[in-house]
A and B are shown apart, each in its own frame.
Chain A
Amino acid sequence: MSASEPLLRVEDLRVEFPTEDGIVHAVDGVSYEVQRARTLGIVGESGSGKTVSSLTTLGLTRTQGARISGRILFEGKDLVALSEAELRTIRGNEIAMIFQDPLSSLHPFFKVGAQLIEAVRVHQDVSKDVARRRAVELLGLVGIPDPSRRVDEYPHEFSGGMRQRAMIAMALSNEPKLLIADEPTTALDVTVQAQILALLERLQQELGMAIVMITHDLGVVAEMADDIAVMYAGRIIENASAETLFAGPEHPYTWGLLKSIPTLTGSRSQPLVPISGSPPSLINPPPGCHFHPRCPYSQPDHARIDPQLRPVSEASSEGASSHQVACLLEPSVRKRLWAELSEGKTPEQARVDVGLPAPPEALASAADPVGDVPEVGL
């Protein structure tokens, strides 16, 4: 394995759930890479497939009767092809995961210490005493005060932020090479969110692990991520380093995400621009570009042609793959649209200024009603 080999390489991953209503295409041909000791942010709305793709990495969608194809190469091993027993030696050991709601993710009837001890002892052949000392050490590492006392408390005696710290401690118990954090700060207060992110950054530096940060919050990835993948309807629609993406986003959906967050520095009169419509059905996704029913710049043939992820036109010095986008608009048109939007124009004004025809009315109004996006949890 060469030094440049990524820690995790996902190739054309597809995850489908057969349901009574039809096949849910939760992840529809996704490829990405995570380098050692770096952070990849996966951004998208609920139902965009970001969580399912990560759960699949750990083999946790198997029990739900998911149909999985593609490859997930972790240090050269294809996790999709591994047996359940082989996967278990990796789960919680080389790849660990933390979840959105730290209260419901900890077992309410077991002491925090017992849950940590269990996590240590699944993968390490050590005595209970050794594992307990390790648990106390881990709680201290994640910044829980008085860890030797708190190790004997139950999750409900911890505050929200402390619970997430405990979850992180559990994930770190076997010093994983990769930590998947699924919306780790969504259920927390803003001040606590910042603490948890700072903690993750510190731990990453100390332990040298790679992180996949799944979130709907661009603020979180701006803080943490080296690279960003934007997901929509089970696909990656834009992919770049964090600086590149924030400096020059290419996809109208990414623009929508950026324009729908309030900024402290922007003028107050500048309205937030939400993305209209709802996420599409994953059973019958819209034809052509999946985003076209909600796209303010969509053109008639966008409902027919399925855009592929392509490098952004000019080959940059870092290599062709550094910034990719799946959009049918001309690169020059996209540049001008983003320039207009950056000045604070509404999408409608920007479209008129750039001289694009209005999106076909029928399509615009056909923006899917609340799509039947099944909640896929475990």
Chain B
Amino acid sequence: MTRYIIRRLLWGVVLLVLVLALLFVIFRILPTADPAKLRAGRLQSPKIIAEIRHDLGLDKSLPAQFWIYIKGIFLHFNLGYSYYSNAPVKELIFNRLPATLSLVLGGAIIWLFAGLSVGIISARRAGSKLDRASMGTALVLVSAPEYWLGLLMLFFFASDIGKIHVFPGAGSYVGLTAEPAKWFTSMVMPWLVVAAGTAAIYARLIRGSLIETMGEDYIRTARAKGLSERRVVLRHGLRSAINPIVTVLGVDIAVLLGSSVLVETVFDIPGIGRLNYVAITHSDFPIVQGTVLFAAMFVILANIIVDIAYAYLDPRVRYS
């Protein structure tokens, strides 16, 4: 098992280098706005531009630049400096991380809970009116774009512009450690919006998976033992049906950590997605590069965790 984990981690590092190479190609080799010119502002004399090129290391050969880039990341975790504000990208991202983590992890708890409960109930009453109604609702939620759901939420429930004043509206985010109660109320609507689509997908996933599992021979064995139907479903059925959920959960959380741009923008939450969005509008490439790298890291890490969790969940995987 330990060897398996080590092997997976090493592959993760290889994958990360490949992602870095790809990022390098996209941002340094493919034609973009010249960072030196952007930085020079209005004083665009060739001399100044050459100086800036030298400062940024852009006058070195491409392999040398890549080497410096990789070295900076692996030795010092140096992601460069914002062209716009000169602030270290690493710091900018770390400052924004709590907001994004609050959003995504809170959302994940809601979508897991809602998705599992609806999915299990639907599976046990497959074909009933309740099942059809919840699966229909799920379809609507999957199809609804996040920013639209977010705007609807604000329109109806925001305390400033809403029809009924329930939750604090856009731009009300405060840190968890600063004011826990306010943090919670300000996050309720973003959480619901982030969770809606994913909860719907999970509900459908767990429904299908559980219906299939309940037809297995070992479920018949569990019933033949004299177990209550509740225990048959929740212990024997769900234990197998949950596996596909575990697989997608890690990746879903990771992807959202890097790409919750829309919800963060609608609710004006100072997270990584919003940082990225603003950086793109400013052609602030070090930040874009940094956030994309972060997102890639989350995905790689999540995949490793999922694989390990899978080996833990399914004893047959451990030995093969």
Contact = CB atoms under 8 A, between A and B. Distances in A.
Contacts of A122: 225-227
Contacts of B228: 88
Contacts of A96: 224
Interface stretch (A8-16, A103-111, A222-230, A351-359): A103-111
A88 B225 CA distance: 8
Contacts of A156: 315-316, 319
B240 A91 contact: no
Contacts of A278: none
A138 B198 CA distance: 46
B55 interface: no
A171 to B, nearest CB: 8
Nearest to B228: A88
Interface string B218-250: 111111111111000000100110000000000
A95 to B, nearest CB: 9
Nearest to A110: B239
B174 interface: no
A219 interface: no
Interface in B233-269: 236, 239-240
Contact of B223 (A60, A104, A123): A60
A108 B223 contact: no
Interface residues of B, number: 23
B225 A99 contact: no
A154 interface: yes
B59 interface: no
By secondary structure, the B interface counts as: helix
Nearest to A89: B226
A104 B224 contact: no
Nearest to B232: A63
A214 B183 CA distance: 64
Given A154-B316, A156-B315, A156-B316, A106 B218 contact: yes
Nearest to A100: B217
B87 to A, nearest CB: 49
Contacts of B293: none
A58 interface: yes
Contacts of B222: 107
Contacts of B227: 88, 92, 118, 122
Contact of A99 (B217, B226, B229, B239): B217
Given A108-B314, A108-B316, A109-B313, A91 B218 contact: no
A119 B218 contact: no
Given A108-B314, A108-B315, A109-B313, A378 B225 contact: no
Interface string A88-131: 11111100110101001111111000000011001100000000
B31 interface: no
A106 to B, nearest CB: 6
A15 to B, nearest CB: 16
A96 B217 CA distance: 15
Nearest to A90: B226
Nearest to B223: A60
Nearest to A111: B315
A99 B218 CA distance: 10
B4 to A, nearest CB: 17
B63 interface: no
A91 B226 contact: yes
Contacts of B240: 107-109
Given A154-B315, A156-B316, A106 B221 contact: yes
Contacts of B215: 377-378
A73 to B, nearest CB: 19
A90 B225 CA distance: 9
A84 to B, nearest CB: 8
B42 to A, nearest CB: 67
Nearest to A174: B226
B273 to A, nearest CB: 37
A101 B220 CA distance: 12
Contacts of A92: 224-227
B216 interface: yes
A156 B218 CA distance: 13
Interface string B144-176: 000000000000000000000000000000000
A140 B319 CA distance: 26
A104 B313 contact: no
Q: Which 3 A-B pairs rank lowest in CB-CB distance, beginning with the nearest? A: A92-B226, A91-B226, A378-B220
Given A101-B217, A104-B218, A107-B240, 11 more contacts: A92-B224, A107-B221, A107-B222, A107-B239, A109-B313, A109-B315, A110-B239, A118-B225, A119-B225, A377-B220, A378-B220
Interface of A: 58, 60, 63, 84, 88-93, 96-97, 99, 101, 104-110, 118-119, 122-123, 154, 156-157, 167, 170, 377-378
Interface of B: 215-229, 236, 239-240, 313-316, 319
